[in-house]
Amino acid sequence: MLKKLRRKVSTAFTSGPKKGSKPYKNPPPSPASPSPPPLQTTKTKTMSHTRKHSPFVFPHVDSSVVPDPSNLFSPNLLSNPLPTNSFFQNFTLKNGDQPEYIHPYLIKPSNFSLSLSYPSRFFNPSFTYQVFNPDLTISSSQKSHLSHFNHTISSHNDLSVTLDIPSSNLRFFLVRGSPFLTFSVTQPTPLSITTIHAILSFSSSDSLTKHTFHLNNGQTWILYASSPIRLSHGLSEITSDAFSGIIRIALLPDSDLKHEAVLDRFSSCYPVSGEAVFSRPFCVEYKWEKKGWGDLLMLAHPLHLQLLADG
């Protein structure tokens, strides 16, 4: 059956046209298509990766939740972008009068004073909270016509922020890890140091450059001055005559005389700024700018002590 079919197909292809059929004519050639127009060379603009972009300024927005913080910064800092989520952020939100943790103290500024707290801790399974109590509040004892002025951040870097209170002629060098609160009285100013606790005892050195006072909450504080300062005290306030210079205040841990000797030894050298430097892989260096004389005393966490000992 297959062989017969092949023969028929072969016959159909090899046989000529049937008698009476018209011969096949080739169709007329199609007209030639027009030649394409000559190609035009076009210049393609490419974006250079090396082009310098001009700075972009975000549009100004007025917010009642987070007002413009620029009035809390010194004018010379406003030409650069302001820091976000910094360790001193609470000094710049709204009135800038919320406590901020500058290890090992909580610091709370206002227009005319600065409050210092060695915080206690409240904790539960969900979180840990540092409780702020104004153990000491430092200000000028005389009224000033500048008391309506805000405190001002005059400088900042990785590990420090400098806070000015113009109404009291005070400049605070807030450096993370310093056991002392250090501030400069920029003009002769009578000082006031108040506490929410009661002052149980007060003593001064013969040189009037070191003063120690005990509070009824168990804390002992030591005040060091760069030059003699005469202090008087009441139940909850310490006052001075007009003074200009450097003052340092530190909590005496556990009222231990051994710790007091350490504070005495390092009381004359103080940091004014600090930076974290990543000079090589897996290494961070803390560098502080210091003033005064002698060696600098800074605090360290247990992990820091372990790494320093291993190094």
Least confident of 122-136, 140-154, 271-285: 140-154
Write down the pLDDT at residue 308: 77
Give me the mean pLDDT over the 83-92 stretch: 90
Alpha-carbon span 272 to 267, nearest angstrom:
14
Task: Show the tokens assigned to 294.
Answer: 């002698």
- Identify residue 125 by its one-letter amino acid code: P
Per residue in 180-202, pLDDT tens?
999 999 999 999 999 999 999 99
Instruction: Please check the confidence at residue 176 and state whether its pLDDT lies above 50.
Output: yes
Flag whether pLDDT at 54 surpasses 80: no
Please give the C-alpha separations between residue 16 and each of 13, 171, 234, in angstroms, as whole numbers.
8, 117, 136
The proportion of the chain whose per-residue pLDDT surpasses 70, expressed as a percent, equals: 79
- Pick 247 or 59 by higher pLDDT: 247
Whether the bond between 99 and the residue before it is cis, its omega within 30 degrees of 0, is: no
* Whether residue 62 has pLDDT greater than 90: no
Query: Nearest to residue 295, comparing CAs of 273, 275, 265?
Result: 265
3-state helix, strand, coil in the chain (%, to 5): 15, 40, 45
Q: Domain 69-268, what fold?
A: Beta-galactosidase; Chain A, domain 5 (2.70.98)
Distance CA 175, CA 288 (A): 9
pLDDT score, position 110: 92
Distance (Å, rounded) from C-alpha 50 to C-alpha 234?
Answer: 68
Length of the chain in terms of residues written:
311
The answer, yes or no, to whether residue 11 has pLDDT greater than 80, is no
CA distance 263 to 248: 10
Is the model's pLDDT at 35 over the cut of 70? Answer: no
